[in-house]
Amino acid sequence: MLLDKILESLFPSGHTVLVACGLIFGRGALADGDSIAVIGVDGRIPIGVDEAALLSGHVLDVIKSGGNEPILILIDSDSQRMSKRDELLGLNEFLAHLAKCLILANKLGHRTIGLLYGHTAAGAFIATALATQTLLALPGAEPAVMDLPSMSRVTKLSIEVLQEKAKSTPVFAPGLDNLAQTGAVAITLDPDRSLAHQLTSVLSQPVEREDSRDKLGKERNGRPKAADIAKRVYELARASV
């Protein structure tokens, strides 16, 4: 689904969302008349230090403007920008900072919702979509940790062998279904229905205090052990003091 169509369906009452150099900024009007801040990445651009700093600056502006305006982050990105300049300047800090801003916004009362409508991968995925409280996706979204050809190089297994293995487990191969099964994506939206209604329905659901993605991954048979291991360590640590 193209960004224009998505924005049209999300905000029938209007929006001020603009795209500049692949970055999305603006506000949309929700059905109840309230506004939602919109940021994001379009056109499959990589996220480097410059992009990350602009996005995090925007999140901080939303927090500073007071209130509890929700934040929607729309994602069609490449992975992090893989360059000497970005690493020289400390890309890890910029991506971590962006994630921190999104998570702090959430802690300070802003709902944060991610919507994957295209590609995303690796560090860009972690710093944006995976740093939101609720991650939504549209069919056709292509989240990936790493693409199969690169994975094939590292694991020294042919793409055919990897594809065969991917049939028995969602744990490593790219794709929306696999990431939904492991608990990353909460809800896949229906593009044929009003996205505004579907967003309103998500926003009206009670806010969960706990990060429940590991439990979701267990329910969906994508991550059999993570939730139990985290819970056991949690209980042992609490019992140690």
Helix axes 148-155, 159-166, angle to 10 degrees: 110
Q: Closest distance between other proteins and the C-beta of residue 23, in Å?
A: 15
Q: Taking CB under 8 A as the rule, does residue 100 contact other proteins?
A: yes
Q: Please state, in angstroms and rounded to a whole number, the distance separating the CA atoms of residues 59 and 32.
A: 22
- Which one among 26, 116, 123, 138 touches other proteins, defined by CB under 8 A? 123
> Does 224 sit near other proteins (CB under 8 A)?
yes
Binding mask 193-222 toward other proteins (x if CB under 8 A, else -) reads ------------------x-xx--x----x
In the complex, least distance from residue 137 CB atom to other proteins, rounded to whole angstroms: 14
Bridge partners, 75 (sequence order): 41, 116
CA separation (Å) from 178 to 37, 42, 83?
29, 23, 29
Report the C-alpha gap between 234 and 59 in whole angstroms. Answer: 31
Residue 232 near other proteins by CB under 8 A:
yes
If one asks whether residue 20 binds other proteins (CB under 8 A), the answer comes out as no
CA distance 23 to 103: 20
**Nearest-angstrom CA–CA distance, 207 and 49:** 31
- What are the residues facing 121 on neighbouring strands? 144
Q: Per CB under 8 A, which of residues 67..86 are in contact with other proteins?
A: 80, 82-86
**Number of chain positions touching other proteins (CB under 8 A):** 81
The reply to whether 236 sits near other proteins by the rule CB under 8 A is: yes
| Residue among 1 and 96 whose Cβ is closer to other proteins | 96
When asked if residue 126 is in the footprint of other proteins (CB under 8 A), the reply is: yes
The CA distances from residue 175 to 5, 25, 233, in Å, are: 22, 27, 30
Q: How far is the CB of 31 from other proteins (least distance, A)?
A: 29
Binding piece for other proteins, criterion CB under 8 A, among 3-11, 18-26, 33-41, 165-173: 165-173
